[in-house]
Amino acid sequence: MKSLRLFLLALATACGGSEEETPSMLGSLDTSEAGIVTFLQERGYRDWLAEPAVHDSGGPHGQVRVFFNDTAVQSLRADNATHPVGAILVKEIYSGDGKELVGHALEAKVKSGHGKDTWLFFEGPLPEDRRNLYGRGHEACHGCHAAGRDYVTTPLPP
């Protein structure tokens, strides 16, 4: 499979195009869909800075609580216009009453610069995280996130 990917990349480059790849790892996060599902199911983000409580989302997610990795925290504290590769936010999505965790959303900065294709988006329901939204610049995600500072719409908690 890896040799096929390298062949296609070489072919695209030879034909004047280019294939932009998503890094396979961002720190300890495997950015494949299966890797993200595993990370979320194992709650690999639970020691990150988090909002203090579940609350109404400013977007379509209902009841949420957001977690920020150190890279995202440092970038948001510095008030950066563009976040660095490796910034990751995880949104826990809760039932309407805010008591039951029913899914996750994740965004990870995977390429330098600005624009929807610099972010990898994931959203999936529990318990099995199937019927996921997944991909760089995903159409279902980037519309709302474009309103944020470099696609981050959630401010750091106080």
Query: Number of C-alpha atoms within 13 angstroms, CB side, residue 102?
Result: 13
- Indicate the domain borders of the chain: 23-145
Would you state the pLDDT for residue 116?
A: 75
Q: Are 133 and 140 in contact (CB under 8 A)?
A: yes
Would you state the pLDDT for residue 115?
A: 83
Would you state the pLDDT for residue 59?
A: 72
Would you state the pLDDT for residue 67?
A: 98
Task: For 17-125, list the strands marked E by DSSP.
Answer: 25-26, 29-30, 49-50, 55-56, 63-68, 88-94, 101-109, 119-125
> Could you report the per-residue pLDDT of 128-150, keeping only the tens digit for each?
656 677 866 555 455 555 556 76
**Which residues in the chain land under pLDDT 70?**
1-21, 60, 127-131, 135-148, 150-151
Q: Are 44 and 128 in contact (CB under 8 A)?
A: no
Q: What values do phi and psi take at 53, rounded to 5? A: -160, 165
Q: Are 40 and 125 in contact (CB under 8 A)?
A: no
Would you state the pLDDT for residue 97?
A: 94
Both structure tokens of 1: 């499979």
